[in-house]
Structure 1
Amino acid sequence: MPHSLAIFDLDGTLVDSFPWFLRTINDVADRFGFRGVRDEDVEGLRHASTREILSRLEVPVWKLPAIARHARRLKGEAAAEISLFAGAEAMLRTLTEGGVQLALVTSDSEANAREKLGDAAALFAHFDCAASVFGKPAKFRRVVRRAGVDRSRVISIGDEVRDIEAARAVGIACGAVCWGYAAPAALRARGPDLVFERIDDIAPALLTRAADVRGPTPA
């Protein structure tokens, strides 16, 4: 079936927030009492699942809501430092012009997300923000209901292992991008339906699949 709804993650997928994360994480660790991230830790963490990352950094699970609220506040203050990846807005516009609804599911707040997206925010039909660390499945279900689309025609696109896990939990297709937080090898090991090496690969892949199902246009 063609994809008629694409649910995007924000950080690491549409916006380049990883440098900001690396600059900020140790201050957050000091504030909330978990292990900091050394330079030599970064690559190993990029190959780990979310649960493994939390375990390695000894993050108290009961503190996760407070950590998320604090991170959202810091992101809001640093919005000017976090920009869209080159080509993201053009890709999103091409999808909407091709008849694909866009949704955004993110752990960030909707206000922060709209500021980071800028003019591209107007391309999204659905926002479901402030997702908890493991709360994306519920968000995905809600967006799919709002969109009125069969799950067989939905794909989520993200940059972390938990994005793939959330899609599998809901029964929708998933695409993984290679330019975000998680290492490409870690994403491929989870068997996503599509892997995108470049941001320019997304629209052709989704729209070509739709065209294949529709068949050729009559002469």
Structure 2
Amino acid sequence: MKHQLIIFDFDGTLADTMPVFLRLFDEAADKYHFKRLDHEQRHLLRGLDARQIMALHKIPLWKVPMIASFMRSRMADRLDEIRLFPGVDDMLRVLSQRGVRLALVSSNSLSNVVATLGPDNEALFSHFECGASLFGKLPKVRKVLAAAGVAPEHTLMVGDEIRDAKVAAEAGADFGAVAWGYNLIETLMAERPARVFHEIGELALGG
């Protein structure tokens, strides 16, 4: 088995947080005075990376930590609206039974992540690194790799965004692109992922 460790992203990869995220984005726009989303252009937005979104909405970098903190806090108030994607429970259990080690790195808060996963799924993960800044996943991925004692070439990072692909490349890990998340799969293909997953069940077949 090539991949001994799988590091999952959370939002848009394991959990369907997009509907809540879109509403909170507009709340944050009103609070921190940047441009609201044009929901009619949502498909086009899914082809952009985080820096392009920031430029489009005129969000200065210095505001990003405040915005992220606000959105994590507001998401905690709406956890009853967030669900794991169908099939995630079974997929995680199968991977764990096959001996694949599971970790999670997210910009979301640990409390939001574990509340959504539930205790049975939480127990399947050996490492959590949450609360990453928008462009701060790489140090957390490296921390997971060091703690797990698994070489990057035996690690698969699974995510739904361009920034996940770039972090995987910087860390020396393979990237697995999912087709059901934020960025369009056609956009993620440009990052040359090692694996492409069109359905959640496919993740259980390949570590």
TM-score where L is the length of structure 2:
0.97
The one-letter amino acid paired with 1:174 is: F
Specify the alignment match of 2:132 in structure 1: 131
Specify the alignment match of 1:142 in structure 2: 143
Higher Cα Rg, which structure: 1
| Structure 2 alignment gaps of length 5 or more | none
Q: Give CA-to-partner distance per residue, 1:147-173, whole Å, 9 cap, x none.
A: 011111111000000000000111110
Aligned residues: 206
Specify the alignment match of 1:92 in structure 2: 92
TM-score where L is the length of structure 1:
0.92
Percent identity between the two aligned chains: 43
Q: Is the 8 A contact 2:25 2:71 kept in 1?
A: no
- State the 1:24 CA deviation: 2.0
Specify the alignment match of 2:168 in structure 1: 167
Q: Per the alignment, in what secondary structure is the counterpart of residue 115 of structure 2?
A: helix
Specify the alignment match of 1:42 in structure 2: 42
Q: Per the alignment, in what secondary structure is the counterpart of residue 176 of structure 2?
A: strand
Write the mapping of 1:87-126 to structure 2, written as runs, cut at 5 A: 87-118=87-118, 119-126=120-127
CA distance in 2, matches of 1:132, 1:84: 22
CA distance in 1, matches of 2:109, 2:49: 23
| Deviation >4 Å, runs of 4+ | none
The one-letter amino acid paired with 2:172 is: G
CA distance in 2, matches of 1:34, 1:169: 31
Q: Give CA-to-partner distance per residue, 1:67-112, whole Å, 9 cap, x none.
A: 1111110111111100110000110111110011110100011111
- State the 1:184 CA deviation: 1.0
The one-letter amino acid paired with 1:30 is: D
The one-letter amino acid paired with 2:127 is: H
Specify the alignment match of 1:65 in structure 2: 65
Specify the alignment match of 1:79 in structure 2: 79
| Structure 1 alignment gaps of length 5 or more | 207-219
- State the 1:133 CA deviation: 0.5
Please, what is the CA RMSD of the aligned residues? Answer: 0.9
CA distance in 1, matches of 2:126, 2:174: 19
The one-letter amino acid paired with 1:184 is: I
